[in-house]
Amino acid sequence: MTFVIVESCIDVLDQSCIEVCPVDCIHTDSEDRMCYIEPNECIDCALCEPACPVEAIFKDEDVPESDAEFAHLNRLWFKDKTTTRARIEELMGSS
* Sign of the CA dihedral running 21, 43, 8, 78: positive
Burial class (CB in 10 A: 0-12, 13-18, 19+), 76: middle
CA gap 36, 25 in Å, rounded: 8
CA gap 60, 83 in Å, rounded: 21
Number of C-alpha atoms within 13 angstroms, CB side, residue 68? 2
Categorize the per-residue pLDDT at 76 as very low, low, confident or very high, splitting at 50, 70 and 90: very high
Are 26 and 4 in contact by the 8 Å Cβ rule? The answer is no
| Per-residue model confidence as pLDDT tens digits over 41-69 | 999 999 999 999 999 999 999 999 999 99
Rg of the chain in Å (alpha carbons): 12
| Per-residue model confidence as pLDDT tens digits over 6-39 | 999 999 989 999 999 999 999 999 999 999 999 9
Domains of the chain as residue ranges with CATH: 3-93 (3.30.70.20)
Q: What's the whole-model pTM score?
A: 0.93
